Structures are given as structure tokens and as C-alpha cells.
């Protein structure tokens, strides 16, 4: 059994990167491109029916998330209908804590699929070890990774990933730190849905949290082309996640 365990890389003191990535043949990329929901990829298990050295299928633990129940159901339907995905088994009891997952509505599930569709082996081959659940939204994957080589070799290794997986890879952030974990603020921001993050960051940029306030909730709602009630709902949920100890 192969299980993703992030505890060992939490103390990594080398180079950390956030990668924005697309690769062909991925059911999660295709499903999130077609719908408004997203997927977190947690752990991968070798199939117990494997009879050869290389597994012909793997089972993964995932969380589907969305702003509404209808959006979540549309996402799950898109995954079920994918010819790249096997049977989807929904879980009745969640493994994680609700505040650690983006989305107003979440659902955990197991899914069997072809390991040949995974980009993780190519990343590992070139020295990139993922250190957090992979977040898939809008047809793109976001990877938090640690690089095992020298920083000067990162560009060449990324080119190797692009060629080996026929992938598009962009570096969103890169840092070298002796503090092994990502800043708490970044981890909290990752729990917001795209809409919640958009509303919160817009409110912050417009001076809503300054004293005295430089804008009103009515002005924020108008600039975002949303009703005041809807805007406040997203903002309050974002604030709740960011302020929760």
C-alpha cells in the first residue's frame, strides 16, 4: 500500500514551491473545468487486486467541495461520467475537520483510476515531493512541493516535468526557509473557496478593515456586482475560517 504522508516533509527546510499545473488525461482536471466545484487529493492506495509489479489501478481518497449543493452534485456527476475514472464510493463520515477544507459544501470519496494518468511519479522523478493535499480547480492543479536538489537546478527539473508528463507548469511562489512549515496565514487562506477569497481580498484591498473604514459593505457589493446579502455571507464565512483558532 502506498499512502501519501505529509508529516515527514512538514519539517523540510529546503526549497519550497507552489506549482500551477495542467497535464493531459486527468479526470479531476476535466471535471473541474466543466463545473464550479473543486477537488482535494489526499492519499493514494495501491489496489488490493493488483497481480503485477506495477499496479493496474490505484484508489485515491479525495474531497469534493463547492459553494452550493447543486454545484457539488454536478461535480460528482462529471467525475462519475468520466471514462478515466472508475467507481466512486462516497464516505458517510469525514476524515478531516470541516474548517480545513475549502467550500461551503464538501463530500469525501474514494475513487479507482489508472496510475498512468498521474503526474506525481514524474514530479518525484525530478525531485519534487508534494507536501500538502493537491488542490484542483478550474481545470488546473495546485501543488505544494519541496525540491530535493539544488535551487539552481529547479528550472531544468521543471523542464523535465514538462517534457516527461506533457505538462504545463508555472511557478506561483518559491522560497527557501529553515522554518519547515508554511506560514499559518497561507494555510488559512487555502481553506477559503475561490469566491470567499475573492470577496475577502477585495474587502482588504479597498480598506474595509482599516480604521476608520475606507469603504462600506454596500460599496463592496456594488463593485463586486453582488447583492449586499450575498457579499456579506461570503465575507463572514471567510472571516470565520481565518479567525478560527
- Residues 61-70 have pLDDT tens digits of 999 999 889 9
| Rounded distance between C-alpha atoms, residue 3 and residue 156, angstroms | 28
Which stretch of 91-95, 98-102, 156-160, 189-193 has the lowest confidence by average pLDDT?
A: 98-102
Q: Which cell numbers hold the place of 171?
A: 511557478
Structure confidence at residue 109 as a pLDDT band (50, 70, 90): very high
Q: How far from each other are the two terminal CA atoms of the chain, in whole angstroms?
A: 34
Structural contact between residues 22 and 139, judged by C-beta atoms closer than 8 angstroms:
yes
Task: Tell me the Ramachandran region of residue 103: left when phi exceeds 0, alpha when psi lies from -120 to 50, beta otherwise.
Answer: left
- What pLDDT was estimated at residue 1? 32
pLDDT tens per residue across span 230-239? 888 888 888 8
Q: Which cell numbers hold the place of 100?
A: 480545513
Q: For residue 127, give every residue at least 6 positions away whose Cβ sits within 8 Å of its Cβ, in sequence order, or none.
A: 147, 148, 149, 153, 157
| Rounded distance between C-alpha atoms, residue 115 and residue 52, angstroms | 13
| Rounded distance between C-alpha atoms, residue 217 and residue 55, angstroms | 54
Residues of the chain with CATH 1.10.10: 192-243
- What pLDDT was estimated at residue 148? 87
Whether the per-residue pLDDT at 127 is higher than 50: the answer is yes
Pick the CATH number of 192-243 from 1.25.40, 1.10.10, 2.40.160, 3.40.50: 1.10.10
Whether the per-residue pLDDT at 96 is higher than 90: the answer is no
The dihedral over CA atoms of 122, 123, 126, 128, expressed in degrees to the nearest 10, equals -160
Amino acid at each position: 500500500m502506498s499512502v501519501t504522508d505529509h508529516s515527514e516533509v512538514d519539517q523540510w527546510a529546503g526549497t519550497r514551491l507552489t506549482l500551477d499545473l495542467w497535464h493531459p488525461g486527468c479526470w479531476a482536471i476535466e471535471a473541474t473545468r466543466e463545473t464550479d466545484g473543486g477537488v482535494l487529493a489526499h492519499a493514494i492506495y495501491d489496489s488490493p487486486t493488483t497481480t503485477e509489479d506495477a499496479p493496474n489501478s490505484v484508489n485515491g481518497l479525495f474531497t469534493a467541495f463547492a459553494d452550493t449543493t447543486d454545484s457539488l452534485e454536478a461535480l460528482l456527476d462529471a467525475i462519475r461520467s468520466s471514462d478515466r475514472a472508475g467507481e466512486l464510493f462516497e464516505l458517510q463520515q469525514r476524515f478531516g475537520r470541516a474548517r480545513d477544507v475549502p467550500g461551503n459544501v464538501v463530500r469525501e470519496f474514494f475513487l479507482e483510476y489508472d496510475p498512468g494518468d498521474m503526474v506525481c511519479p514524474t514530479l518525484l522523478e525530478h525531485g519534487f515531493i508534494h507536501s500538502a493535499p493537491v488542490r484542483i480547480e478550474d481545470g488546473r492543479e495546485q501543488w505544494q512541493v519541496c525540491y530535493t536538489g539544488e535551487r539552481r537546478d529547479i528550472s531544468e527539473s521543471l523542464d523535465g516535468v514538462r517534457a516527461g508528463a506533457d505538462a504545463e507548469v508555472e511557478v506561483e511562489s518559491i522560497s527557501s526557509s529553515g522554518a519547515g512549515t508554511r506560514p499559518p496565514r497561507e494555510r488559512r487562506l487555502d481553506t477559503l473557496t475561490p469566491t470567499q477569497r475573492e470577496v475577502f481580498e477585495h474587502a482588504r484591498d479597498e480598506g474595509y478593515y482599516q480604521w476608520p473604514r475606507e469603504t462600506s459593505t454596500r460599496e463592496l457589493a456594488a463593485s463586486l456586482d453582488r447583492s449586499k446579502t450575498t457579499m456579506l455571507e461570503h465575507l463572514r464565512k471567510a472571516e470565520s475560517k481565518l479567525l478560527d483558532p
